[in-house]
A and B are shown apart, each in its own frame.
Chain A
Amino acid sequence: MVAYLIRRLINAVLTLLVVTLVTFGIFFMVPKLTGSDPALLYIGKTADKVAVEGIREKMGLNDPILVQYGKFLKGIVAGRDYANGPDVTHCAAPCLGYSFRTEQEVTPLLMDDLPVTFSLAIGAAILWLIGGVTAGVISALRKGSIPDRAVMFIALAGVSLPIYFTGLLSKQIFVNWLGWLPEGNYVPFLESPSEWFVQMLLPWVTLAFLFAATYARLTRANMLETLGEDYIRTARAKGLGERTVIGKHALRSGLTPIVTIFGLDLGALLGGALLTETVFNLRGLGYQAYQAIKGNDLPVILGVTLIAAFFIVAANLIVDLVYSAIDPRVRLG
């Protein structure tokens, strides 16, 4: 178990290393291909030659690419100093460089966005897990009935309608026409939990709708498969009531595969829900990524990518560990 965990952790670190290599490669290649100069992106096109050369020296842009990559890695692990003679700027670990646009350090910039993204992802996850699974179970137990057909129809709509459609539509209806919810403006939880909740409600529901649709379909399929299993017949043959047969025996195996998907979905969302955040004007990682892409802000793009990759790798690891705990047939090793 311990050996397995160590191996998985090493694997996770290696995966992240590959991600840094690829993203850094892109970071390095893009200016080359587009003919733009990173130094100019930092300092502005109107700067004089001396200033440009100074920034180039300070940011290490004159170093060979491998040295640059090494310094980048060192920055993440131990922090780094950007120096041009006596002009030294310290960037604390994990250092992801400086934004082209705002000239701020990337790490604190992204850390400020995390609460927004976490609020959105976790809140929506709770909603879609409860909603999707409940709808899927009901659908499976009443297969072919009107509720089943209704759930499957709504689920089909859910998976086919993009966020920018459902999001903008719901915003139009609930904010502009009905006026039930205020115009979007994120309020931190610690500032006012109730306002935070009201502000997040629409983004949660919109994002959850998309995922709940998938979960309802998945749960329904899993439950139907499980209900046809021999061991469900055995449970009935033992004289157990339907409530125990469904609630204990069928749900236990019908819902186990959901754990995997849920972990991975949540992990991916923690790296930012670009469309939802943009539609609802939530300044999270996704919104930051959107702005960075628009503004060609490579260090920020790199940072968001790394954080997203980190969450996905971590979610993967957690899912595998959890799965081995809930499925006795899976053995770690």
Chain B
Amino acid sequence: MSRPFLEVKDLNVRFETDDGIVQAVTDSSFSLEAGKTLGIVGESGSGKSVTSLALLGLHRTRSNAKVTGEIWLDDQELVSASDADVRGLRGGKMSMIFQDPLSAMHPYFTVGSQIVEAYRVHHPSVNKKVARERAIDMLARVGIPQPARRFNDYAHQFSGGMRQRAMIAMALVNDPKLLIADEPTTALDVTVQAQILDLIRDLQEEFGSAVIMITHDLGVVAELADEVLVMYGGKVIEKGPAIDLFQRPQHPYTWGLLGSMPRLDREVRDRLTPVKGSPPSLINLPSGCAFHPRCPYAGRNGDRSFTDVPVLTGGAHSVACHLPAEERDRLFKEEVAPNL
């Protein structure tokens, strides 16, 4: 059996800080086939962005970061690869769209020159004129009007949506096989959000890239993802095919995320149900199941959730929870689903 296009095995990322060791990602494993979309969901500090930066090898420049495990991209292992090898892939075979395009673009260089730079670092033999044409072509592809004129503008002269389009043009300029989008719509107006998501989907079809969509917005995931990964406290706590995960979510935290999603078909007087409590400290994770302090069902099954770390069950749709499967099904059907 050949490897999937992207396979992450037992990924661990930790940072040594003055306050202690931050265990940002723990034993995270997942895979993604070419052309498919993986949604990674979780609160701030759940480890989703750290995971994506680890894929690109961007923790390598931080001396206090330690990454272990395996990342296989197209049969090449990246954690043990040399800096030069990973740099060759960055922005080429795999690229990334960041959350806030205004701060993610250099204020002193024109948008066009930044795209040209991204292209030429992976195509050193291409002359400036050809690279410029390529950049203008990409700006046109992502729907920027008058691309030849906008080429010479600076990031601050673009509107939010146009800026994110330009960022996408920059990320796609080298036909990446893997595109990581880290909350690409968070900084945008709602109307523009939908346009950007459509654009990413269209371009994905056109380029056939695999996409990792990192978000805290389950609506975005429902719209785009084939597979979903739910992260909590640096760990994967539920993963599975998107349809299955939305129809039969297994983890109480996933239920909480679904409950905190605003829906138009709901009565306005019904309050949203937030997940109670706040995300755990990654320096000092709660014992046992990291979610137990916020879980309404913790303790139902003896005291295991306070002491034992739950492991992911196997199978296509897997979950890390101490509640027995039948109990979870019953709780979801009887207590959770009616309120969603």
A: which residues have CB within 8 A of B?
A: 229-231, 233-242, 244, 249, 252-253, 256, 326-329
Known contacts being A237-B58, A240-B121, is A230 close to B108, with CB within 8 Å? no
Which of B19-27, B92-100, B242-250, B282-290 contacts its partner?
B92-100
Give the distance in Å from the alpha carbon of A256 to the alpha carbon of B108 in the complex: 10
Q: What are 27 A-B interface contacts by the 8 Å CB criterion?
A: A229-B103, A230-B98, A231-B104, A233-B58, A234-B105, A237-B56, A237-B58, A237-B96, A238-B117, A239-B89, A239-B90, A239-B91, A239-B118, A239-B122, A241-B87, A241-B121, A244-B121, A249-B106, A252-B106, A253-B106, A253-B107, A327-B107, A327-B108, A328-B108, A328-B154, A328-B156, A329-B107
Whether B178 is near chain A, meaning CB under 8 Å from some CB there, is no
Asked whether B92 lies within 8 Å of A234 as measured between CB atoms, the reply is no
A160 to chain B, nearest CB (A): 28
Complex alpha-carbon distance, A231 and B106, angstroms: 5
Check if A234 sits within 8 Å of B90, measured CB to CB. Answer: no
Q: Is the CB of A231 within 8 A of B58?
A: no
CB distance from B132 to the nearest CB of A (A): 16
Contact A234 B154 (CB under 8 A): no
Task: Give the CA-CA distance A242 to B109 in the complex, in Å.
Answer: 18
**Contact flags (1/0) for B108-131 with A, using CB distance below 8 Å?**
111000000110011000000000
Q: Bits for B68-95, please: 1 = Cβ < 8 Å to A, else 0.
A: 0000000000000000000111111001
The verdict on A231 contacting B103 (CB below 8 Å), with A237-B58, A327-B108 known, is yes
Not counting A239-B87, A241-B87, a sample of 8 additional A-B residue pairs whose C-beta atoms are within 8 angstroms of each other reads A229-B103, A230-B103, A233-B104, A235-B106, A239-B90, A239-B91, A239-B122, A253-B107
B residues within 8 A CB of A256? 108
Contact with A along B268-289 (1 / 0, CB 8 A): 0000000000000000000000
Q: Tell me whether A231 and B100 are in contact in the complex, defined as CB-CB below 8 angstroms, given that A238-B118, A239-B92 are known contacts.
A: no
Instruction: Using known A-B contacts A327-B108, A328-B154, A329-B154, determine if residue A240 contacts B103 with beta carbons closer than 8 Å.
Output: no
5 pairs of A and B residues whose beta carbons are closest in the complex: A239-B91, A238-B91, A239-B90, A230-B103, A238-B118
**Complex contacts, B122 vs chain A, CB 8 Å:** 239
Check A252–B109 contact: CB distance below 8 A.
yes
Q: Give the complex CA separation of A236 and B104 in angstroms.
A: 11
Q: Is the CB of B87 within 8 A of A231?
A: no
Q: Which chain B residues border A242 with CB–CB below 8 Å? A: 61
A128 to B156, CA, bound (A): 33
A233 to B182, CA, bound (A): 13
Residues of A within 8 A of B40 (CB): none
Cβ of B170 < 8 Å from any Cβ of A? yes
Give the residue name and chain of the B residue nearest to A326 (CB).
B108
In the complex, which residues of chain A have a beta carbon less than 8 angstroms from the beta carbon of B156? Answer: 328-329
User: Complex formed: what's the CA distance from A238 to B122 in Å?
Assistant: 9
In the complex formed, the residue of A with least CB distance to B56 is A237
Distance between A97 CB and nearest chain B CB, rounded to angstroms: 48
Q: Which of B58, B96, B106 has the most CB of A within 10 A?
A: B106
